[in-house]
Structure formats: structure tokens, C-alpha cells
Structure 1
Amino acid sequence: MSKVEAYKIIISQFFAKTLDERAKENFANYLNDPDFLEAWQQLMEEGEMGAFPDNEIEHERLFKTIVQDSRITDQVVTVAETKKSPIKILKYAGIAAALLMVGITTLILFYNRMNISDNQLITGNLSTVVPGSQKAEIILENGERIDLENLKLDTVIDNGTFEIIKSDKGIISYRLKHPKSSNLQTAYNTIVTPRGGEYKLLLADGTKIWLNAATTLRYPISFNGEERKVQLQGEAYFEVAKQVHHEKRIPFIVNTGNQRLEVLGTSFNLQNYGKSIVTTLVEGKVKLNSQLSPQDELYLSPQEQAVFHSRDKKFLKSVVDPRYFTAWKEGKFAFYNTSIDEVMDIISRWYDVEIQYNYLPENFAFSGTVSRYDDINKLLRTIELVGDIHFELKGRKIYVNK
């Protein structure tokens, strides 16, 4: 990545307010580099600014504060006089303030960090740690296991009464050989993704399910009753297909832990790794209740999220941006003011590594969007850039240090 491209990322981070005090000082120093102003010019010419945000004035005020800082005034004036005019620099500040404030903050990994080598940032043998990939196995009702990773694309497995199909895109689906057979109503399969795995499943009713790492889903191979039930442990994104029987809409039910979720046709993300159950609604409407508190019912509308803690036996509802909770199915990590332990939990599951804390920073908040398929060394280096934290990678264990 070129130096100009790296500066474009830094500028975006600054105006998204994701830089800590140390990073802000570095940001001010960048103003002495002509490549920095070139990066600013390119951001304007790319035409990606969109509408000005409501807090444009606040961002420009913050930028002026840094530019006028007594520690760097001489440097900034020198650059402004030799490359661009001071007025034009501040004009760019107002326009660049609009960048990336409409959606998720974009953080792309970059390689140049003030002449600091990778070995100074992260140590250890990285060859054994790779991003997750399409890995899963199906457990049939008779206990037989099918390794989907080793199953070739565009393959059909004949199981007598039904067929399991792996498409040319790697999606698993089912086809009944005798659709009217009543004995298929209670036939269940289970799909399991390991740590460092993911998969996409198409149920017999047309419902699409994306499974994240370390997830188990039990489901029927056909839906012939008055309701559709699946059981989840882990994290999955659902696009539920509508189904009608005798002019009556058939509800879709997801049981996870002590929570029961009922939908008629919707899109949502559901996460249950043991600490809490997090339901994020993208489209439609869902009804939630819990075995621990069956009298309480909670309805969610789009952009609402419910968190259920077994300890408190109650739901906590809030308004969120669903993109941060569904980006994983698009191959991205998306964080917004996320604590370091939450970030590392996600990294641990996806890269199948163990986390050891020698230091747990207070008030650490990481924001950004990065690819889930990048080298773990690059990902950890990006997190280091926005906080007073250092990682050491040894084998399959990451040490979090000060």
C-alpha cells in the first residue's frame, strides 16, 4: 500500500474520532508530509463525501485546534506555503469531515507506521494462524457425519429418502425424493462449524442461514407441520422465507439457550455463545420470550436489539445499527466502540487462537471495519494503532500486553 493510501485511511480515522491522544499527536506530525496533503486532495476528487454531517462544524473545530497547536504551528505553516495554501487546507477539513460518517467507519490495514517494523509490533511464528474458512460437518439423524470441507462442489449425496446438495458456490441444501412421505417430519440433521469455520445453509422451506464460527444448528430436513423449529448454539444470520399452509402463515421458531424467538418472515442476527443471547433485527418483526421468564414477551422492530442475560432473567432492548452485527456474513469484522475483550473474543473464535491477558486497558474502544480474511498479524497491528496496547503472538496464543 502506498504512503498516500495509508494517509487517506488515517484521515478517515481522525474524522471518525477513532484516534486516541497518542495517535492524534502522530496525526499532527503527518501535516508536515506533502503526501498527506496529496491524500487529502484525492479524497476530495474521489467524490465519496456525500452530504455534510450535522457535526461538521465540530469536526472542523477539532481539526483547526490541532493545526494551530503551538507544538506544530511552524511545521504546518511550512507545508501550507510550499504545497497548498492554509485556507485550502482548512477547506479540505470541512469536506473530509463528511467522509465515512454516513455509515460504518472504514479501517483498512496499512503497512507503513513511522518506520516501525512488524517485528517490533508483534512477535511469534505466524505460519500456523490463518483466517477462518468454509468448514463444517453435517451430523445425520443416524449419527453419520459428513465433512463438508472435503466434499467437492456441485455434489449430490443420496441418503435414500432425501439428497444433500453442495452447490457450485458451496451452499448446502436438501431435496426430498418423496415429498409426500410423512415419516420425514421428525427427521433432523445438525450442522456444526468449528472455531475458524463458517458455512451457508438453505433449508427446505427456502430459509437462508449463514453460520458463524463455533456454531451448531439442529434443523428438520422438511417442514410439514404447523410450525418450523430449529435450535441454535453460537451465531447465525437468518433470512426466513414465508410459508403458508391452508391459507395460514406458518411461524418460524428459533430456540437458543433459554430464549424462544418467533418470526413470520424476517431477517435477523442471533448470537448465543454462553454469556448472553443477542438478537438483532434487520427486517420484519420478531417476538421473544424466555423459559426463565415465560410471562414476559418482547417485540422487536427493525434496527432494534435485545440482549438477554440469564443472570438477570430479563431482556434489555436498544436501537442499534444492524450492520455492525451482520458484517461477518459479508466477510468483515465491524466494530463500534467495542471493548478489547469483545474484540479478542471474536478474533479468538475466527482465527482459532487462545487469548492471554497480561494487560486489560480501561476505556478501550475500537471502531472500524476490516476484512475477516486478512492475515492476523495485519489485524492485530491495526488494533495497536488506535490504543495503548501491544500483542505478542506465540504459536496459537495471543498475549495482550501494555
Structure 2
Amino acid sequence: MKHDISTVEMEELSAYFETEEGSRLLNVLLKQHIEAQGDNVTSDLQQQASRIKNAAWSNIESHIREANNSIKQNVFRIYNWMPYAVGLLVVAAVSFLFLNRHYKNDTENLLVEENRITPGGNRATLILADGRTLSLDEKRKGIVMNDDGIIYDDGKSIILPGEGRVSESFTLTTPKGGTYELVLPDGTKVWLNAASTLTYPGRFNTNERYVQLEGEAFFDVSKKVKSTGARVPFIVQSPTQRIEVLGTAFNIMDYADESSSRTTLVHGSVKIHAYSSSNQAVVLKPGEQSVYAGDLLSKSKVDTALFCAWKNDKFLFQDTKIKDALQQLSRWYDFDVVYEGTIKETYFYGEFSRKSAFVDVLKVLEKSGIYSKLKVDGKRRKLIVSM
């Protein structure tokens, strides 16, 4: 088949491939056909380019047949120009092969790096009152504070009586990709999420129970009463708010790199005091969530499962902003997110285990129209995201 093209049409073709749609088509097709060659990549550039041209032409024709009817006229104009588009692909392919003779090795290295990114696990550090630091056992899920000192949840002792003054404060901290459970001296259970810190005493006083949180944690607070019969309040202080509890289960998310802090109540009752200019406060009922952002404290009804799923080793996204979803994933898989180009206000839906392999998570994102590539910068891994 012979196709003639005028100078004007050539300019229009070039302009098309400078658009976001055209550029993505060109890049995706080239990448697909280069990678498809696998071990067949040779130094014979002419032979290699010919294979790419034939495969690209077939693929482009397929794209055209599947094009939306609303852009038929434009597609058919492009179809008339496709032999020249394939020519552009060949030129790009030859340049690619010439300048990237080690492409296959680089690709394999990135795949190895992706496989090295493993799901988070039971990782935490306990800082004692005397300054000693203990790296907690990754084979165990949590620790228990009691009169016998500090033990693992299976009963194995960490600190025996007399080794540390349990009346003083302790700090439990998790890194990115870490989580740990804790039973406080009063029996309150705490699940600490990744990149979080909880500071608490070895013993609570009789008037109130006070802890400090940075990051995210789920609390199942035990009920305690004074000799007068009044309940002993449980107080959580985070960077932006103070939560007063009597006996309840709730989740707090208050990270420094988030634009808002959220408290989600599963059952019981809590009162939130925001550290705002107007000293705002709200009382939550089960199934409600408070949000503190931009010096404004508000509350609304929510599906609590969406905000507490992490405690049960799940990611659960429903109508979640894509940047919020990636923020959660980055804390668990320990990578940095870099956005390339314009990122549309997109919402993400999905449910999968927090034990999922990182490469499988990338596949889920790609199916949702979220494209990414991994870049290693020193000791940090960066996920370059585009849409």
C-alpha cells in the first residue's frame, strides 16, 4: 500500500505525537516492542528495526480499530499517516538500541529492585526510660506492659523486674514498613501503624491515663473506674488534637506529612479538642469521623472499616483520592512518591492484603490507569507516577 503525505500533513502528524495522547502511544508502542524482543535483542540494528516496524504497524492498526467513534475523522487522518508514524518508531528504535545497548540489563536490574521491595511487617523499636533502645523481635506481633515488666505477647520476657523503672515513660516507634501491637498497663490494646510513635508511662496514675501519638494507631481502650465510681479518662494527645476517651475503640491518623488529621470512632464515645485558633471541640458517636484541616474541625458519618482495615492487614480503598492511596502505600512499602506531569483528581477503588508483593500492587495501579516506574536514588527508592 502506498501512502502520500504532504508537508502540511507531516507537520500535523508531528504535532499529534507531541500531544499527551500521541506521545504516550508512541512511547508505549516502542517500549512494548523493545521489551517483547527479550533475548532476541541483537546488534543488527537494521534487522531489529525491521521487526519493530512490522510489529508496531500491526499494533497501531489494532489501536485504530478500537478507537472511539467520536474521533473517527481524526483517527482516519492519522491512519493515512501511520506508515510515517512507523517510520518515526523505527528511527526511535534504532536510536534506542544504539544508545541503550545495556537496556535489557537495566530492565532486569529494575525488576530485581521491584522484587526487593517487600511488604511491611512486625518491626518496631522500644526506647526505655533510661535511654536504652531495643529492636523488637520481628517474629512476634506485640508486647505487653504489666507488673512483671515488659514481655512479648507469647509470654517471653523482654525486661525483668528491677531492670527498668516501669513508672517512667517509654516510646514505641515503627519505621516505614513497620507495625506493632502493644498492651498498655491498664489493659488497653494499641495497634501502631507504619512510621508512627507512641509515648506512654510504665504505670498510669489514678486520675487519668495519658499517652502521646504521632502517626496512626488504633486503640481499644479498657474501662477503669475510680474509688468514687467515676470512670478514669483515657487521653491521647497528637500533634493537632487532644482526644478524651472513657472506654471505646477508635482510630487516630495524625501524620506530619498529611494535610489533615482524622479520628474514627468504632464504638463508645470520644471528645476531640482541636489545637485551633478558636479552640474547637466535637463529640463523636459510633460510625462518625472527625477531620481537622485548615484550622477547621468537622465531623461526618463514615464507613469505619475503610479507616481501620490496616489493623487487620488489609488495604481498603473506596472513593479514595489517588494521592492519599499512594501515601498509604508508600509508608508500608517504604518508597517515595514523585508525580510527573499533571495528575488528575482521580479516585481509587481496591482491596488487597498488606502482605501483597510490591510488583502485584503496581499491576493493580496500572489497571486503574496509574502508570509508574521505579527509580533508585542512593538508598531511597522513588516511584515516578504519571496518568
CA offset at residue 328 of structure 1? Answer: 0.3
Pairwise mapping of residues 208-357 of structure 1 onto structure 2 (< 5 A)?
Answer: 208-246=189-227, 247-274=229-256, 275-293=259-277, 295-309=279-293, 312-357=294-339
Spell out, residue by residue over 1:81-136, the C-alpha distance to the aligned partner (whole angstroms, 9 max, x if none). Answer: xxxxxxxxxxxxxxxxxxxxxxxxxxxxxxxxxxxxxx89x966323211100000
CA distance in 2: counterparts of 1:241 and 1:176, whole angstroms: 24
TM-score, normalised via structure 1 length:
0.62
Pairwise mapping of residues 118-133 of structure 1 onto structure 2 (< 5 A)?
Answer: 125-133=113-121
CA offset at residue 137 of structure 1? Answer: 0.7
CA distance in 2: counterparts of 1:129 and 1:266, whole angstroms: 36
**Which is helix-richer, 1 or 2?**
2
Instruction: Return the index of the structure with the highest Cα Rg.
Output: 2
CA distance in 2: counterparts of 1:364 and 1:222, whole angstroms: 47
CA contact (8 A) 2:142 2:182 kept: no
Alpha-carbon spacing, 1:294–1:223, altered in 2? closer, same or farther (3 Å): farther
Match of 2:122 in 1: 134
Match of 1:59 in 2: none
CA contact (8 A) 1:257 1:272 kept: yes
Spell out, residue by residue over 1:188-237, the C-alpha distance to the aligned partner (whole angstroms, 9 max, x if none). Answer: 10000001100000001110000000000000111233000000000000
Residue 165 (structure 1) aligned with residue 151 (structure 2): yes
CA offset at residue 370 of structure 1? Answer: 0.7
CA contact (8 A) 2:173 2:196 kept: yes
Identity of aligned residues (%): 39
CA contact (8 A) 1:124 1:394 kept: no
CA contact (8 A) 2:126 2:136 kept: yes
Match of 2:383 in 1: 398
RMSD of aligned Cα (Å): 3.2
CA contact (8 A) 1:335 1:369 kept: yes
Spell out, residue by residue over 1:226-262, the C-alpha distance to the aligned partner (whole angstroms, 9 max, x if none). Answer: 0000000000000000011202210000000131100
CA offset at residue 313 of structure 1? Answer: 1.9
Alpha-carbon spacing, 1:151–1:195, altered in 2? closer, same or farther (3 Å): same
CA offset at residue 359 of structure 1? Answer: 3.5
Counterpart AA for 1:163: G
CA contact (8 A) 1:135 1:198 kept: yes
**Partner SS for 1:244:** coil
**Partner SS for 2:205:** coil
Alpha-carbon spacing, 1:155–1:271, altered in 2? closer, same or farther (3 Å): closer
Structure 1: gaps (5+ residues): 1-69, 72-118
Match of 1:50 in 2: none
Counterpart AA for 1:333: F
Counterpart AA for 1:192: T
CA offset at residue 368 of structure 1? Answer: 1.6
Structure 2: gaps (5+ residues): 1-67, 70-106
Alpha-carbon spacing, 1:261–1:125, altered in 2? closer, same or farther (3 Å): same
Alpha-carbon spacing, 1:157–1:260, altered in 2? closer, same or farther (3 Å): closer
Spell out, residue by residue over 1:157-199, the C-alpha distance to the aligned partner (whole angstroms, 9 max, x if none). Answer: 99xx8511012399x9999779xxxx855x1100000011000
CA offset at residue 377 of structure 1? Answer: 0.9
CA offset at residue 291 of structure 1? Answer: 3.1
Pairwise mapping of residues 11-160 of structure 1 onto structure 2 (< 5 A)?
Answer: 125-149=113-137
CA distance in 2: counterparts of 1:378 and 1:150, whole angstroms: 23
CA distance in 2: counterparts of 1:239 and 1:348, whole angstroms: 26
Counterpart AA for 1:345: Q
Alpha-carbon spacing, 1:238–1:360, altered in 2? closer, same or farther (3 Å): farther
TM-score, normalised via structure 2 length:
0.64
CA contact (8 A) 1:173 1:204 kept: no
Match of 1:376 in 2: 358
CA offset at residue 149 of structure 1? Answer: 2.8
- Out of 147, 164, 183, which is 1:202 matched to? 183
* Greater relative CO (CA pairs within 8 A, separation 6+): 1
CA offset at residue 151 of structure 1? Answer: 8.0
CA offset at residue 155 of structure 1? Answer: 9.6
**Partner SS for 1:130:** coil
CA distance in 1: counterparts of 2:145 and 2:297, whole angstroms: 42
CA contact (8 A) 2:129 2:169 kept: yes
CA contact (8 A) 2:174 2:193 kept: yes
